[in-house]
Amino acid sequence: MSDITAAGTLEFTGLGTVTRLGFGAMRLTGPGIWGEPADAETARAVARRAVDLGVDFIDTADSYGPEVSERILAEALHPYPPGLRIATKAGQVRTGPNRWIPVGRAEYLRQQAELSLRRLRVEALDVFQLHRIDPKVELAEQFGVMAELLAEGKVRSLGLSEVSVEEIRIAQTYFPVSSVQNRYSLVHRGSEGVLEHCTDHGIAFIPWAPLDAGRLAAPGGAVDAVATRLGVTHSQVALGWLLQRSPMMLPIPGTGSVAHLEENVAAAGVILDDAALVPLDAAS
């Protein structure tokens, strides 16, 4: 298995050096990202194995479960080993499986930050991300309370999710934007401009759904052809492509399986040559 350090590192504003291949803890929950996992001990084992493999950046959210993912991480990993950073998010409420509703009122975001502190058993959140901008609430209210939490020392760094370049620029007038988490993968490249902005400005870009390869992974597709030639998996091709796309790329592939976790971490050592990159870059 490849050493995760082969993925390289990036400087994460407010946190320092972070390995460029993390773990997404969304799947440590029940179906529809709702309720308890089928096997809680397996979920805890996945989290522990991620750290054993050298993962030092784990992404979660208050809405995963809700509350379940954060709690499982604390059960599995607290007291946290030195150097481990846990990023969480708030700003979406859950009314059922696969249902997500943005809520960006200041009092709600503050409440959720406090509850995440309690569930994760920490005095300050390493990263607190706005899960979605609430279109019904003024940006000044949403960004303002995040700036307050940073100033109060309740969070060490702040991030955004599913935002435009203009929204990043506005947020930067309130606080340093340390990370942006937008959907991005081989088949979802709508955030190319945001990725370029993050790369140019030293902002960690955290692609969600990073393993999505769609039809490219079908027999004869670009991903399938590269995987077959290099003797790696489709997921490893997808992650390898992301890691070579930008030095500020920080993929967080998620899974509830130790075997899949190990496969994903092994992608750190996958180097795509020009014969692989050309068709992958051209496909979407």
The yes-or-no answer on residue 64 being catalytic is yes
pLDDT at 1 over 80: no
State mean pLDDT over 130-138: 98
The per-residue pLDDT for range 223-232, each reduced to its tens digit, is 999 999 999 9
Measured in whole angstroms, how far is the alpha carbon of residue 243 from the centre of its chain?
A: 14
How deeply is 38 buried, as exposed, middle or buried, from its count of CB atoms within 10 A (0-12, 13-18, 19+)? Answer: exposed
More confident residue, 242 or 2: 242
Give pLDDT, residue 2.
Answer: 62
The per-residue pLDDT for range 153-181, each reduced to its tens digit, is 999 999 999 999 999 999 999 999 999 99
**Where residue 284 falls among pLDDT bands split at 50, 70, 90?**
confident
**Where residue 6 falls among pLDDT bands split at 50, 70, 90?**
very high
The Cα-based distances of 179 to 89, 131, 205, 230 in angstroms read 12, 12, 6, 32
Set 64, 108, 174, 184: catalytic member:
64
Give pLDDT, residue 159.
Answer: 98
Task: Calculate what percentage of the chain has a pLDDT beyond 70.
Answer: 99
